Amino acid sequence: MAEATSPIIELKDIDVTFKEADRTVKAVKDVNLQVNKGDIYGIVGYSGAGKSTLVRVINQLQRQSKGTVTVSGQNLGNLSGKNLRQARTKIGMIFQHFNLMNERTIGDNVLFPLLLGSKLTRKEKQAKVDELLDLVGLADKKNDYPAQLSGGQKQRVAIARALANDPEILISDEATSALDPKTTGAILELLKHLNETLGLTVVLITHEMQAVKAICNKVAVMQSGEIIERGDLLTIFSNPTEQLTKEFIETSSQIDSALANVVEQATVQNLGAGEQLVVLSYAGDSTEAPLIAQLYEKFHVTPNILFGNVEILQNTPVGTLGLVLSGVGDAVETALAYVAQQGVHVRRINVAEYRAELARKAAANNEEATV
C-alpha cells in the first residue's frame, strides 16, 4: 500500500440536508474526515447510512448544506463552472452499475473523458486508451462492446475510464456490490495494485467489511448519517468499540455464523457451574503466546475449542477463538482476567440471550420479506 503522508481530502463539519414536501432529512450529520495521500480508506455502513451522499460531497456532485471540503489543498466549495469541472478531473469515480455507453466500443468508452478539455493530440489520446486498457488487463477488448463483456470486465473498463485524466483520487461507490466473490476479489486486487503503482488514493464505499479488510488501511463506520467509529484497520478489527462495528467484523470473520451453529449444540445449551462460552479476539504478539496451554497450567481451566480463525491484516496476525472454559470455583473468571491482561479481548456469551437475539433477528427478517 502506498505510504500515507499529507492529507489529500479534508471534510470539516459536513451536513447534508434534503428538504421534502412534509419533512427535512439530514442525510449527513456533522462529519469530519481526513484521508491522507496514498490511503485506501474504507467507509462502511448499511444502506441509508449516508456514505454515498458523503462521498458525492468530495467531488461536489452533492453540495453540502454546511461545512468545508478541501481536496489537494483547494476548497471546492468556492469553485463553480469551469474551475470546478477542472478540479473534478483529479477525482475519478466508479459505480456499482458501471455506467458504460453500450453503443460505443470499449476503447471509445475509455476515450470519452478525453474528448473535452484534454490537450492531448488524437494520437496521444489513442495511446492513452491503449495504456489504460493494458493496465486493467483488457488490451484485447478495445474493439468489443460492453454487451460482450462480463460484469468484472465492465468494471475494469469503468476503472480505466475513471483513470483517463490521471486523477489523484479514485472513489469506488459500491463498485463490487453486483459482482460475485471471485470477481470482487480480482477488482479489489486491481484497486490495490493501482494504489501501489500509481500512488492513487482510493476511497472505498461499501456495506461489506470483507472488502474493507481485503485492501484498506483506514476505515470509518457510518450509521444514520454519522461516523460512529474510525481508525486504522488493525485497531478497528482488533479492538472495536461500537456495536455496529462489532457486527460488521463478526460477519466478515464469520464469527456470527459459527456462534449461531455452536449455540444450537445441546452441550453448549446446558453448561454447568464453572463453565463459560467465550470468544477471544487477539492480534499481533498475543497470537504467539501459548494462552490455551497456560489456561490449564496456571489456572487448571480446561478449554474446549469450538471454532477458530487466524488471518493477516496489515502484515499482522489477527485471530478469533471460540471455546468453552471449564474450571472449579472462580478459576474461569481468574483465567479470563489473566487473558485480558495479555491484550486479548474477551467476549462472554450468554447462550440463552444469544439464541433469543438470533430468534428476534430471524423473525424481523421474515417480517421484512413478507412486506
Domain contains 1: no
3, burial (CB in 10 Å: exposed 0-12, middle 13-18, buried 19+)? exposed
- Residue pointed to by grid coordinates 502506498: 2
Q: What is the DSSP letter of 235?
A: H
Residues 208/185, Cβ–Cβ less than 8 Å: no
Given this model, what pLDDT does residue 370 score? 62
Given this model, what pLDDT does residue 132 score? 96
Instruction: Classify the C-alpha dihedral 40-41-44-48 as positive or negative.
Output: negative
Shared-domain flag, residues 127 and 54:
yes
Shared-domain flag, residues 271 and 299:
yes
Q: pLDDT-derived band of residue 2, with 50, 70 and 90 as boundaries?
A: very low
Shared-domain flag, residues 113 and 144:
yes
Domain boundary among 181, 206, 239: 239
Q: Residue 337's domain spans which residues?
A: 253-370
Q: Which long-range contacts (CB under 8 A, 24 or more apart) does 320-323 make?
A: 320/253, 320/255, 320/279, 320/280, 320/281, 320/282, 321/279, 321/280, 321/282, 321/292, 322/255, 322/258, 322/259, 322/262, 322/277, 322/278, 322/279, 322/280, 323/277, 323/278, 323/280, 323/292
Shared-domain flag, residues 143 and 23:
yes
272, burial (CB in 10 Å: exposed 0-12, middle 13-18, buried 19+)? exposed
Domain contains 114: yes
> What's the whole-number average pLDDT of the chain?
90
Shared-domain flag, residues 233 and 271:
no
Residue 3 has pLDDT above 50, yes or no: no
pLDDT tens digits, 93-141 = 999 888 999 999 999 999 999 998 788 999 999 999 999 999 999 999 9
Domain contains 244: no
Domain boundary among 207, 239, 271: 239
| Closest among 290, 280, 275 to 325, alpha carbons compared | 275
| Closest among 69, 79, 72, 77 to 33, alpha carbons compared | 69
Shared-domain flag, residues 352 and 203:
no
Residue 351 has pLDDT above 80, yes or no: yes
Residues 129/163, Cβ–Cβ less than 8 Å: no
Shared-domain flag, residues 69 and 208:
yes
Domain boundary among 187, 212, 239: 239
Cβ within 8 Å of residue 13, ≥6 positions away = 30, 31, 32, 66, 67, 68
3 state DSSP class of 163: coil
Residue 287 has pLDDT above 70, yes or no: no
Q: Provide the grid cell at 245.
A: 462495528
Per-residue HEC secondary structure of 57-113 comes to HHCCCCCCCEEEEEECCEEHHHCCHHHHHHHHCCEEEEECCCCCCCCCCHHHHHHHH
Shared-domain flag, residues 269 and 345:
yes
Residue 69 has pLDDT above 80, yes or no: yes
Residue 84's φ and ψ, nearest 5 degrees, are -70, -40
Domain contains 2: no
Residue 37 has pLDDT above 80, yes or no: yes
Domain contains 245: no
pLDDT tens digits, 144-174 = 999 999 999 999 999 999 999 999 999 999 9
| Ramachandran category for residue 98: left, alpha or beta (phi over 0 → left; psi -120 to 50 → alpha) | left
Instruction: Classify the C-alpha dihedral 250-186-219-340 as positive or negative.
Output: positive
Write down how long the chain is: 371
Shared-domain flag, residues 208 and 340:
no
Domain count, the chain: 2
Domain contains 246: no
pLDDT tens digits, 214-273 = 999 999 999 999 999 999 998 888 888 898 998 888 888 778 888 889 999 998 999 999
Domain contains 58: yes
Residue 281 has pLDDT above 90, yes or no: no
Shared-domain flag, residues 223 and 261:
no
Residues 171/58, Cβ–Cβ less than 8 Å: yes
Shared-domain flag, residues 235 and 259:
no
Residue 310's CATH number: 3.30.70.260
Residue 148's CATH number: 3.40.50.300
Domain contains 27: yes
Shared-domain flag, residues 128 and 260:
no
pLDDT top residue among 309 and 271: 271
Given this model, what pLDDT does residue 250 score? 80
